[in-house]
Amino acid sequence: MELNWKGVAYKTGAWGKDAAWNTTKKSLYWVGPLNPEGRLLESIRIYPTLNDILLYKNAIDLPLSVFNKNKWNHTLAGQGAGAIVYNNNLYYNCYNTPEICRVSLTSGVYQRKPLPNAAFNNRYSYSGVTFQDMDFASDEKGLWVIYSTEESAGKMVVGKINVATMTVDKVWTTTMMKTGVTNAFMMCGVLYATRSVSKQTEEIFYKFDTKTGKGGPISVMMEKMSEKIHSLSYNANERKLYVYNDGFLVHYDVLLKP
């Protein structure tokens, strides 16, 4: 467990490693605290190793907001704690829009595409976590986005992202209200959703299999350091869950049954 580099006031955010399956950047870590109001992602910090995070050294900053002509320009900024790094690119919800943003961690090249019908601006965020309308996730099968639409009436929608075109090739609508879960992640093509049981316990209580198109209950308890889970993502290369827990950077080992 480690406190994020900006401090205790930055309770909302995301962190982890490059989540692409068999990525060449397996040692790269990143940390992205949102501003204290829990909406705006202005920058992320990249670290070569976990030891560098622990010692707060050898960091590279990637700004997403620019101060120009005595005011801030948030055109490239992010919104909410749903960001992920996939194949050396940061994916996130573009600030104040229903669009997917992508920026290369090495070249800084920036791209954006609309996410069709996506609800945004805190319309259907997770329970207790504001502005996480789009939640990007990765697993052994690729890159996903978890969101809601007006057509789904707030139910969780899972979209499979084509990284070549930055478009969603296929979508699945679940039976679970997005506002009824605290966070979610993908693993082996299956969506897992969590809810808070107490200040110290989180439960993985719902799953939806994109292969069968069916969802149902499950019960796996997780201890947590603090009350709110602001970001939860799975890394298939290490079989770990990375959690941004009220400003603290936590990870869990995942054991899969054969």
**pLDDT tens digits, 80-113:** 999 999 999 999 999 999 999 999 999 999 999 9
Distance separating alpha carbons of residues 16 and 252, to the nearest angstrom: 11
Distance separating alpha carbons of residues 233 and 136, to the nearest angstrom: 8
Neighbours of 137 (CB within 10 A): 25
Would you say residue 69 has pLDDT above 80? Answer: no
What integer is the mean pLDDT of 133-143? Answer: 97
Would you say residue 258 has pLDDT above 80? Answer: no
Question: pTM for the full model?
Answer: 0.96
Distance separating alpha carbons of residues 17 and 29, to the nearest angstrom: 4
Distance separating alpha carbons of residues 140 and 125, to the nearest angstrom: 25
pLDDT band per the 50, 70, 90 thresholds, residue 38: very high
Mean residue pLDDT across the chain:
95
Would you say residue 148 has pLDDT above 90? Answer: yes
Would you say residue 1 has pLDDT above 70? Answer: yes
Would you say residue 21 has pLDDT above 70? Answer: yes
Q: Where are the domains of the chain?
A: 2-252
Would you say residue 256 has pLDDT above 90? Answer: no
β 2-3/248-253 pair status: antiparallel
Q: Are 192 and 158 in contact (CB under 8 A)?
A: no
Place of tokens 């093509």: 189
Residue 145 burial class via C-beta count within 10 angstroms: exposed 0-12, middle 13-18, buried 19 and up: buried
Q: Is the dihedral of CA 180, 242, 234, 53 positive or negative?
A: positive
What integer is the mean pLDDT of 219-242? Answer: 95
What CATH number should be reported for the domain whose range is 2-252? 2.115.10
**pLDDT tens digits, 121-134:** 999 999 999 999 99
| Residue type at 115 in one-letter notation | L
At 48, list the tokens: 């070569």
Would you say residue 206 has pLDDT above 80? Answer: yes
Neighbours of 50 (CB within 10 A): 14
Query: In degrees, to the nearest 5, what angle opens at C-alpha 95 toward C-alphas 191 and 141?
Result: 25
At 40, list the tokens: 């705006």
Distance of CA 218 to the CA centre of its chain: 22
